[in-house]
A and B are shown apart, each in its own frame.
Chain A
Amino acid sequence: MPESATARVHEQVGLSVELGHETPLELDCGISLGPFTLAYQTYGTLNAERSNAVLLCHALTGDQFVVGPHPVTGKPGWWELMVGPGRPFDTDRYFVICSNALGGCMGTTGPKEINPETGRPWGLDFPVITIRDMVKAQAMLLDHLGIEQLFCISGGSMGGMQALQWVASYPERCYTAVPIACAAKHSAQNIALNEVGRQAIMADPEWREGRYQELGTNPAGGLAVARMAAHISYLSEPALQRKFGRTLQDRSNVTYGFDADFQVESYLRHQGQSFVERFDANSYLYITRAIDYFDLAADYEGVLANAFRGAETRFCVISFTSDWLYPTPENRAIVRALAAVAANVSFVEVVSDKGHDAFLLDEPDMFETLRGFLSGAAARRGLGGP
């Protein structure tokens, strides 16, 4: 792997590279960003033909640490079950790359980082970014790594949106694409949910118009509420019922107060609390906004099929029966658009009661589907077995 002089190993966040020195990143909002930093991790080895690279795109609150231990939390990576030797994204076979999304807070340029023009954290001076901007930044990373074509572009949720955008923007660079549990546009309900999260953050007096870093405050309360609200949308009613029901938390009776009487409350509070230790409130605003703005068809005369016209990419779309954030009909709309241009597409709806988060969990049908799809494509691409 070619390492240019600008590549460096950050003591905490692994690999990162400064991009956009000569040609800045032209953002959708009209601002030119450059140079900027992209933090990333790689797993496995790039082959001599440079044909076995897999780019995984993380979801809203994910990061480049696909496989753990995570440098901040010490926990396993978000796709530990999917990536590694013998896993569907087999690191004995593929060279797996994941970068922290533009606007993120794990080393990539985002509102938390220092604005070189002012010497202060960007905060709300950071330009509003889009899914397409994130993808453009990733394409610059691939140029830096000397990878012309990806064997596979994949991700779940916001990561799946990026996978779709990748094929639309750079069809010739995507041999296969696996968008999982996602949609070609963000629905009104999902924009509404994101807005609740953003309002929770901005209503926190410690948010200070986004300048909390300089002023030494921390809108952890607002960010935790945002996470709690969002987390409900990642689960499903049956899963919540199965996991918690109406079980009380370490007590035999309700307390007639507002303590966390129920286990489900305690669980959500814990989700909120652990989230604020690793995530930046302004990043949350920016990335949810990027997701809200995503409407792939809008860039193609309102016809989603046009986004994929002429693409030779082989697709595998996966959805989950109990996902109400990006339900199967949204995933099927992608499949229909692909069929309309006679693209090469497989589509599997996995039966699961675990809701949207199923894509991160132990779902054997998802693993088997991916294994079969990737093996078939790898044979066609001339990638040998492990």
Chain B
Amino acid sequence: MNAGSGRTSARPDHRLIAELVEPGSRLLDIGCGDGALLELLAREKSVDGRGIEISQEGVNASVRRGLSVIQGDADTDLADYPEAAFDYVVLSQTLPAIRDPRGVLLELLRIGRIAIVSIPNFGHWRNRLHLLTRGRMPAPRGSGEPWYATPQIRPCTIKDFVMLCRELGIAIDRRTQVDSRGRVRRFSGTGRFANLFGEQAVFVLSARSSRTPASGTKRG
């Protein structure tokens, strides 16, 4: 790999994902942006990584870094991949931008053994307070994007996501939160505190042996 110079510390959720991944594994990063996570994983975990990114600027930046990334759309292009092609499939902060999160979640666990999904938690107390006191949609922190311009077309809370996994028969093997200062927080119990104080959550998912039969995961 090309070792970049002047690197700043990795994003907290990237750091968290890197800790979850076995060295030398095969990994697909969906919505890989400029390839920062793939580069981190290649450098520190010798991961054989691939990426899909919807923006051409992101793809170009990634390929220039020597990463294997294609321009594509999670909603339509995952069907191209064969079953169990990867050890891990990562969906980092991309879920709210997807038209069919349900279908994509099932696809993740068809093409990968383990899915690692990180989401921004819309149920964080700051968002709740914003909506309660100002009566306007909270914008993702730092983005300043108004509601009509944000790529996050389907924001959800940690609880929403947990419920969806339950409905789809997906096992949550691990759940970790990052708070507003980027610190990793593990909340025990029912998840109420997590849903209130976790700004981001990282889930490790696998397919339950008894999967809902109606889920129809085979495509293409």
Q: Are B59 and A347 in contact (CB under 8 A)?
A: yes
**A 310-352 to B, binary, CB cutoff 8 A, 1 in contact else 0:** 0000101100000000000000000110011110111111010
- The interface-forming segment of A98-106, A184-192, A198-206, A366-374 is A366-374
Q: Which residues of chain B are within 8 angstroms of A340 by Cβ–Cβ distance?
A: 80-82, 220
Closest to A335 in B: B70
Q: A347-B59, A348-B56 are in contact. Are A372 and B64 (CB under 8 A)?
A: yes
A376 to B48, CA, bound (A): 13
A342 to B72, CA, bound (A): 15
Contact of B2 among A344, A365, A379 (CB under 8 A): A379
A347 to B60, CA, bound (A): 9
| Interface residue B86 (Cβ < 8 Å from any Cβ of A) | yes
The smallest C-beta distance from B140 to any residue of chain A, in angstroms, reads 28
Contact of B67 among A346, A368, A379 (CB under 8 A): A346
Contact of B80 among A339, A344, A379 (CB under 8 A): A339
A339 to B67, CA, bound (A): 15
Q: Which residues of chain A are within 8 angstroms of B50 by Cβ–Cβ distance?
A: 344-345
- Mark out the residues of chain B between 33 and 51 whose CB falls within 8 Å of any chain A CB in the assembled complex: 48, 50
Q: A316-B63, A379-B1 are in contact. Are A346 and B85 (CB under 8 A)?
A: no
A14 to B194, CA, bound (A): 72
A269 to B13, CA, bound (A): 60
Q: Are A347 and B66 in contact (CB under 8 A)?
A: no
The smallest C-beta distance from B42 to any residue of chain A, in angstroms, reads 9
Q: Which residues of chain B are within 8 angstroms of A375 by Cβ–Cβ distance?
A: 2, 66
**B 68-87 to A, binary, CB cutoff 8 A, 1 in contact else 0:** 11111000010011100110
- Mark out the residues of chain A between 44 and 82 whose CB falls within 8 Å of any chain B CB in the assembled complex: none
Closest to A344 in B: B68
Q: A336-B80, A342-B85, A342-B86 are in contact. Are A348 and B59 (CB under 8 A)?
A: yes
Q: Which residues of chain B are within 8 angstroms of A377 by Cβ–Cβ distance?
A: 66
Q: Are B81 and A372 in contact (CB under 8 A)?
A: no
A379 to B63, CA, bound (A): 14
A368 to B57, CA, bound (A): 12
A35 to B198, CA, bound (A): 73
Q: Which residues of chain A are within 8 angstroms of B66 by Cβ–Cβ distance?
A: 372-373, 375-377, 379
Q: Which residues of chain A are within 8 angstroms of B82 by Cβ–Cβ distance?
A: 340-342
| Interface residue B65 (Cβ < 8 Å from any Cβ of A) | yes
A339 to B81, CA, bound (A): 5
Closest to B26 in A: A342
A13 to B65, CA, bound (A): 39
A351 to B60, CA, bound (A): 11
A335 to B65, CA, bound (A): 19
Contact of B56 among A314, A342, A351, A373 (CB under 8 A): A351
Q: Are B70 and A339 in contact (CB under 8 A)?
A: yes
A340 to B67, CA, bound (A): 19
Contact of B63 among A341, A342, A369 (CB under 8 A): A369
Q: Which residues of chain A are within 8 angstroms of B26 by Cβ–Cβ distance?
A: 342
A349 to B57, CA, bound (A): 10
Q: Which residues of chain A are within 8 angstroms of B64 by Cβ–Cβ distance?
A: 368-369, 371-373
Q: Are A339 and B77 in contact (CB under 8 A)?
A: yes
The smallest C-beta distance from B151 to any residue of chain A, in angstroms, reads 20
A314 to B68, CA, bound (A): 8
The smallest C-beta distance from A244 to any residue of chain B, in angstroms, reads 29
Chain A CB within 10 A, most for which of B69, B71, B77: B71
Q: Are B1 and A348 in contact (CB under 8 A)?
A: no
Q: Which residues of chain B are within 8 angstroms of A349 by Cβ–Cβ distance?
A: 56, 71
**A 350-386 to B, binary, CB cutoff 8 A, 1 in contact else 0:** 0100000000000001001101110111010000000
Interface residues of B (CB under 8 A from A): 1-2, 26, 48, 50, 56, 59-60, 62-72, 77, 80-82, 85-86, 220
What are 13 inter-chain pairs, A to B, with CB distance below 8 A? A316-B63, A336-B77, A342-B86, A345-B50, A346-B68, A349-B56, A368-B60, A369-B64, A372-B64, A373-B64, A375-B2, A375-B66, A379-B1
Shortest beta-carbon contacts, A-B, top 7: A376-B66, A372-B64, A347-B70, A342-B85, A339-B80, A346-B63, A336-B80
Q: A336-B80, A349-B71 are in contact. List 9 more A-B contacts (CB 8 A).
A: A316-B63, A339-B81, A340-B220, A344-B48, A347-B70, A372-B63, A373-B63, A376-B66, A379-B66
Interface residues of A (CB under 8 A from B): 314, 316-317, 335-336, 339-342, 344-349, 351, 365, 368-369, 371-373, 375-377, 379
